[in-house]
């Protein structure tokens, strides 16, 4: 705790207790002034809910004995009322939902009768609500020295009446985690009347309309601590004519939106500062030399101001008290040794936290790192630093957090590096080129809670680093070259872990039949060579991924893990049936059993509605009719039953699966008609019924597939990509994306290409190789989002509708192997995105149109697009056209409007093609794709969590926890 707060506490304690004492001691103890007692009881009446029973003792006897109440032993007056809900700050993660421990009710004006009150703390309770402002009458309690009504769920304007509290030393009206309403102030000139104020916290209050806030606070010359975190401050004040804040020690301006340069700012004149917090505040420009004037500075946090750039100023050498320096996600650049050489030597032995994560630095770590003997946290990951890790690091016996990952660091980490790191808790070397080589007899001196070694060289043996660790909470040793069986001690080491990732190794052998740990939530064992059967699942597991292994035998008949959200077991040798017990997993959202040897019919639902939104069962030998299990799955978004032995008609209730985006039944034996209800699926974006025995006509109401009728390309928005992205986000929440990589293939452009997350851009209808008859409906022209259309190998008749020319995004069109007659419409040459066309083996006739895109297709052997149509003539076929076979003219004349329209489309199309090219690049360059999506999907989340959680925990504790107790 900072000196400022200690001093303040002392002063407040003296001020508010000098004339009071504990009730049991003084004469005020038993008795209490009747009017004040009545006022307190009246206050109690205003409290409806009191979960912690704070007011439980407020009945009978003298009120000075009541909990939270203190009286003066000289006068008997109530001087102190402390009803703080301390639990509010203990688990912030739950706060966004609810404040389960807070009292609920209103602050009764009866408190006005407590005319001698000096200390009032109601913080962390639900005393407001939408439309309920902070009680302005508190401004009449003129003896108040301490007022804390922070986080009490008030709304609306801050009452300027607080300016009447001229005795106030401490004012906390912050509102950091609001769950109703937004407190604001447009004029804080009333602050100027609080001349004695030492501590002011207005964090979370919208002060965006206060023009001169810095001048206002400059009228408080006694201020020790000023916290204006998340106040929507938009302007910074370059410099004050004269700074009165000569005693200010703690300044928090984080989470604001200054959009201003860092350098010319009034706070550089405040040389008394010990803590300066400017993280997430949209500041830019260089770090000014004036920093060197702040010789008392202990903590400087500039995290997440990406536009602050350049070298640490050389004046930093004056800061001999520096303990924490956080530059995470600041664009420092340059050579890390050069930057770190500017750390003040006079504080080498005091430095505790150094945050250089994501600062664009290069070069090698300085060899003198071992001289920072107090260092507790070192973060240099996510830079381009290279070279070896200096051996001196191993001397840092206070080091508990070490981030070296996402770097080009190389060389070997041996036990010499680790031998003295007795405090180490968090170790992240992932995505570096480091190799860990440890003596198999070595025992680590530390107890890790988080180990991340992803993509380091660790194997072939299981790392002894993990031996005798019992406190591991999170472990990721994926892709570390381990080619070993899982040693017995490993199960011990991870027995309290919540997330375990050993994927992408060559780990072999059986998994235990039953895994006896209860803390696990996420298990990633995928992409190894594990064999044997699937272990019985435990009650707490939420996500299980053992895909791409050699597991065999049946699925466990009894799924007990009721919390399971995702089961991903694709690409194994799992046989037998899908057990009925799967229907009992009420939280199951993702089930991927593709590429196994499953057979039999899917179970009938008998228990409850499934929450499932992704069901992937492709490439098995499942039989039976279209599973009735799905009838209750109205949340299903992604359904893949391709390559099984299912038969029968498609039920009309398919139309009720209104969330379906991707629907794949390819290569089964489904028959009957396509139910016209299928066109009720407004979110449907990918329909694949190819290679079945489906007969009848293509439904005419295709235009109702509204997800395909839009060209909305903004993946974040509702529209074409909206639903899929929404569900993709849900996948992201429950599972890493990677499983969803190349286990399945899409058929497009006459080839199979692996799925990827870019599937979100693929709008496709594939009805090929069925027995469909009748005409191609003209309504197809309204599906302008289509990228792939495959109607080949059916018995379709009639003409190619000229409306096909409206499908401006179409990249692949295949209607080969039908009985389509007539001429090829010239409108096909409008399809500027087309890169694959197949019209072969139909009854087409007349001259083949040319021009635009058509001339660029299949240039190796263009004739293959048209062969098997005896009536066709002209290039690229060898048959010349006779005079009677005039070039066909487009039946609709293009009017002027459509030219303009075409221009717009061209722009959009160019964009799509661009995206598609990126997509294709990803398809073929797996490394890029993984890298890219890791970046998008994981880095964002993980880096964010990493930054916020870790740095918040390790570096920002004192800011988020109010310092009074």
Ligand X SMILES: *[C@@H]1O[C@H](CO)[C@@H](O)[C@H](O)[C@H]1NC(C)=O
Q: Which residues bind ligand X (CB under 6 A)?
A: 19, 21, 25-26, 73-74, 182, 184, 206, 208-209, 218-219, 221, 232, 240-242, 244, 289-290, 292-293, 315
Question: Which of residues 241 and 441 has its CB atom nearest to ligand X in the complex?
Answer: 241
Instruction: Quote the least distance from Cβ 238 to ligand X, whole Å.
Output: 13
For residue 132, cis peptide bond before it (omega within 30 degrees of 0) = no
Shortest distance, position 801 Cβ to ligand X, whole Å: 51
- 508-510 and 156-157 strand pairing: unpaired
Nearer to ligand X, 239 or 908 (CB): 239
CB of 118 to ligand X, least distance (A): 14
Nearest distance in Å: CB 941, ligand X: 24
> In a 3-state reduction of DSSP, which class is residue 390?
coil
Closer of 311 and 881 to ligand X (Cβ): 311
Helices (H), 196-255: 213-217
Q: Which residues lie below 8 Å from residue 726, measured CB to CB, with a gap of 6+?
A: none
Rank residues 175 and 842 by Cβ distance to ligand X and give the closer one. 175
Contacts within 8 Å (CB) and 24+ apart, 482-490: 482/458, 482/506, 482/507, 483/459, 483/507, 483/508, 484/459, 484/460, 484/508, 485/509, 486/462, 486/511, 487/462, 490/462, 490/466
Cα(490)–Cα(834) distance, integer angstroms: 54
* Least distance between ligand X and beta carbon 82 (Å): 18
Query: What span, in angstroms and rounded, lies between the C-alpha atoms of 518 and 496?
Result: 7
Q: Answer yes or no: are the C-beta atoms of 190 and 215 closer than 8 Å.
A: no
Between residues 26 and 379, which has the closer beta carbon with respect to ligand X? Answer: 26
Q: Is the dihedral of CA 857, 861, 862, 868 positive or negative?
A: negative
Minimum distance between the CB of residue 210 and ligand X, rounded to whole angstroms?
9
Structure tokens at 673: 């008609």
Smallest gap from Cβ 220 to ligand X, in A, equals 7
Q: How far is the CB of 729 from ligand X (least distance, A)?
A: 23
CB of 856 to ligand X, least distance (A): 51
Q: Kindly give, in sequence order, each residue whose CB lies less than 8 Å from that of residue 931, ignoring residues fewer than 6 positions away.
A: none
For residue 291, the minimal CB distance to ligand X (Å) is 8
H or E element, residue 909? helix 896-924
231 vs 427, beta carbon nearer ligand X: 231
Beta bridge mates, 640: 616, 664
The H or E element that residue 591 is part of is strand 590-592
Which residue, 2 or 216, has its beta carbon nearer to ligand X? 216
Q: What is the CA radius of gyration of the chain?
A: 35
- Smallest gap from Cβ 500 to ligand X, in A, equals 40
The 843-847 sheet, strands edge to edge? 821-823, 843-847, 871-873
Structure token pair of residue 754: 């692996």
List Cα–Cα distances, 937 to 564, 728, 756, 908, in angstroms: 22, 10, 13, 26
Please, which residue, 159 or 732, has the CB nearer to ligand X?
159
Report in angstroms how near the CB of residue 269 gets to ligand X at its nearest: 7
The nearer residue to ligand X, 240 or 908, going by C-beta atoms, is 240
Q: How far apart are CA 576 and CA 557, in angstroms?
A: 10
Q: Which residues contact 652 (CB under 8 A, 6 or more apart)?
A: 675, 677
- Rounded CA-CA distance 922/650 in Å is 35
Min. distance of Cβ 576 from ligand X in angstroms?
55
Cβ nearer to ligand X, comparing 218 with 527: 218
Token match 């407040």: residue? 12
Nearer to ligand X, 237 or 833 (CB): 237
Residue number, 237 or 840, with CB nearest to ligand X: 237
Q: b/e per residue, 190-226, with b = 16+ CB within 10 A? A: bbebbebbbbbbbbbbbbbebeebbbbbbbbebbbbb
Provide the residue count of the chain. Answer: 965
In terms of C-beta density within 10 A (0-12 exposed, 13-18 middle, 19 or more buried), how is residue 861 classed? exposed
Considering the complex, state which of residue 292 and residue 781 has its C-beta at the smaller distance from ligand X. 292
User: Long-range contacts: 853-862, Cβ < 8 Å, 24+?
Assistant: 853/829, 854/828, 854/829
User: Can you tell me the distance from the alpha carbon of 30 to that of 71, in angstroms, rounded to the nearest whole number?
Assistant: 10
How near is the Cβ of 218 to ligand X at its closest, in Å?
Answer: 5
Secondary structure (3-state) at 341: coil
| Residue (of 263, 393, 412, 394) closest to 340 by Cα position | 393
Shortest Cβ distance from residue 125 to ligand X (Å)?
23
**Whose Cβ is closer to ligand X: residue 234's or residue 864's?**
234
Tell me how far, at minimum, the Cβ of 319 lies from ligand X, in Å: 12
Residue indicated by tokens 């750039």 = 309
Cβ 6 to ligand X shortest distance, Å: 23
Helix 896-924, helix 926-933: angle, nearest 10: 100
Q: How far apart are CA 481 and CA 437, in angstroms?
A: 12
Partners of residue 545 on adjacent β-strands: 524, 568
Query: Closest CB to ligand X among 253 and 544?
Result: 253
């Amino acid at each position: 705790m900072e000196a400022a707060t200690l001093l303040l506490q002392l002063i407040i304690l003296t001020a508010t207790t000098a004339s009071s004492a504990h009730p049991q001691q003084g004469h005020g103890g038993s008795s209490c002034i009747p009017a004040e007692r009545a006022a307190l009881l009246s206050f109690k009446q205003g409290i409806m809910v009191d979960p912690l029973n704070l007011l439980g003792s407020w009945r009978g006897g003298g009120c000075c004995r009541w909990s939270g109440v203190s009286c003066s032993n000289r006068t008997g007056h109530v001087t102190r009322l402390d009803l703080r809900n301390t639990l509010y700050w203990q688990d912030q993660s739950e706060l966004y939902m609810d404040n389960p421990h807070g009292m609920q009710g209103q602050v009764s004006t009866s408190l006005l009768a407590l005319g001698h009150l000096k200390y009032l703390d109601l913080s962390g309770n639900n005393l407001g609500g939408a439309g309920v402002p902070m009680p302005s009458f508190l401004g009449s309690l003129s003896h108040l020295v301490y007022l804390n009504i922070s986080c009490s769920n008030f709304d609306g304007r801050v009452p300027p009446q607080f300016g009447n509290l001229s005795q106030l030393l401490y004012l906390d009206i912050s509102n950091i985690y609001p769950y109703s309403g937004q407190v604001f102030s447009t004029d804080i000139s009333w602050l100027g009347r609080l001349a004695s104020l030492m501590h002011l916290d207005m964090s979370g209050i919208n002060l965006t309309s206060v023009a001169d806030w810095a001048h206002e606070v400059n009228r408080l010359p006694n201020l020790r601590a000023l916290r204006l975190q998340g106040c929507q401050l938009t302007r910074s004040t370059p410099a004050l004519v004269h700074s009165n804040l000569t005693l200010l020690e703690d300044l928090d301006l984080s989470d604001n939106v200054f959009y201003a340069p860092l350098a010319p700012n009034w706070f550089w004149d405040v040389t008394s500062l010990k803590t300066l917090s400017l993280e997430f505040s949209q500041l830019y420009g260089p770090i000014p030399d004036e920093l060197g004037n702040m010789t008392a500075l202990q903590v400087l946090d500039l995290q997440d101001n990406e536009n602050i750039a350049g070298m640490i100023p050389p004046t930093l050498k004056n800061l001999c008290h520096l303990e924490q320096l956080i530059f995470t996600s600041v664009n420092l650049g340059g050579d890390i040794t050069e930057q770190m050489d500017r750390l003040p030597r006079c504080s080498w032995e005091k430095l505790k936290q150094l945050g250089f994560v994501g600062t664009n630095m290069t070069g090698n770590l300085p060899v003198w790192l071992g001289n920072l003997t107090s260092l507790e946290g070192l973060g240099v990951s996510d830079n381009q630093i290279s070279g070896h890790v200096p051996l001196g690091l191993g001397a840092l016996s206070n080091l508990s957090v070490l981030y070296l990952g996402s770097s080009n660091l190389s060389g070997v980490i041996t036990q010499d590096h680790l031998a003295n790191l007795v405090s180490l808790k968090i170790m992240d070397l992932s995505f570096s080129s480091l190799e860990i080589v440890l003596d198999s007899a070595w025992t680590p001196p530390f107890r890790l809670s988080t180990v991340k070694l992803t993509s380091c060289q660790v194997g072939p043996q299981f790392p002894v680093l993990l031996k005798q660790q019992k406190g591991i909470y999170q472990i990721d040793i994926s892709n570390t070259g381990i080619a070993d069986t899982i040693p017995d001690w490993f199960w011990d080491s991870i027995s309290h872990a919540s997330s375990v990732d050993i994927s992408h190794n060559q780990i072999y052998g059986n998994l235990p039949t039953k895994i006896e740990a209860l803390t696990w939530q996420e298990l990633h064992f995928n992409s190894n060579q594990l064999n044997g059967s699937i272990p019985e699942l435990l009650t707490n597991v939420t996500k299980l991924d053992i895909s791409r292994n050699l597991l065999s035998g049946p699925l466990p008949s009894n799924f007990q893990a009721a919390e399971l959200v995702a089961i991903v077991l694709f690409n194994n040798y799992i046989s037998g049936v899908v057990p009925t017990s799967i229907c009992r997993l009420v939280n199951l959202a993702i089930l991927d059993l593709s590429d196994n040897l499953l057979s039999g019919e899917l179970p009938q639902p008998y228990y409850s509605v499934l929450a499932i939104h992704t069901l992937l069962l492709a490439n098995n030998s499942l039989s039976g009719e279209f599973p009735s299990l799905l009838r209750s799955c109205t949340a299903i978004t992604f359904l893949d039953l391709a390559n099984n032995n299912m038969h029968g008609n498609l039920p009309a209730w398919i139309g009720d699966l209104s969330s379906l985006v991707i629907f794949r039944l390819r290569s089964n034996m489904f028959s009957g008609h396509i139910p016209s209800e299928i066109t009720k699926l407004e979110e449907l974006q990918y329909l694949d019924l190819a290679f079945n025995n489906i007969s009848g006509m293509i439904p005419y109401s295709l235009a109702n597939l509204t997800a395909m009728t839009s060209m909305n390309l903004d993946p974040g928005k509702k529209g074409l990509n909206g639903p899929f992205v929404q569900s993709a986000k849900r996948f992201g929440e429950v599972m890493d994306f990677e499983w969803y990589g190349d286990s399945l293939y899409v058929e497009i452009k006459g080839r199979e290409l692996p799925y990827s997350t870019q599937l979100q851009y693929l709008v496709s209808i594939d009805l090929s190789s069925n027995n469909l008859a009748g005409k191609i409906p003209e309504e197809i022209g309204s599906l302008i989002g289509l990228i792939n259309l495959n109607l080949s190998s059916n018995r379709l008749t009639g003409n190619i509708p000229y409306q096909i020319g409206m499908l401006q995004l179409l990249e692949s069109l295949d209607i080969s192997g039908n009985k389509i007659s007539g001429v090829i419409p010239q409108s096909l040459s409008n399809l500027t995105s087309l890169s694959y066309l197949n019209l072969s083996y139909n009854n087409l006739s007349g001259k083949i149109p040319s021009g635009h895109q058509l001339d660029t297709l299949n240039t190796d052997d263009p004739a293959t697009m048209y062969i098997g149509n005896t009536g066709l003539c002209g290039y690229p076929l060898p048959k010349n056209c006779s005079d009677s076979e005039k070039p066909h003219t487009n039946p609709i004349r293009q009017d002027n409007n459509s030219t303009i329209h075409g221009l717009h489309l061209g722009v959009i199309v160019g964009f799509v093609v661009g995206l598609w090219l990126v997509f294709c690049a990803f398809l073929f360059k797996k490394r890029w794709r993984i890298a890219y999506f890791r970046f998008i999907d994981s880095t964002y989340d993980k880096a964010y969590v990493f930054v916020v959680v870790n740095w918040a925990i390790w570096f920002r504790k004192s800011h988020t926890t109010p310092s009074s107790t």
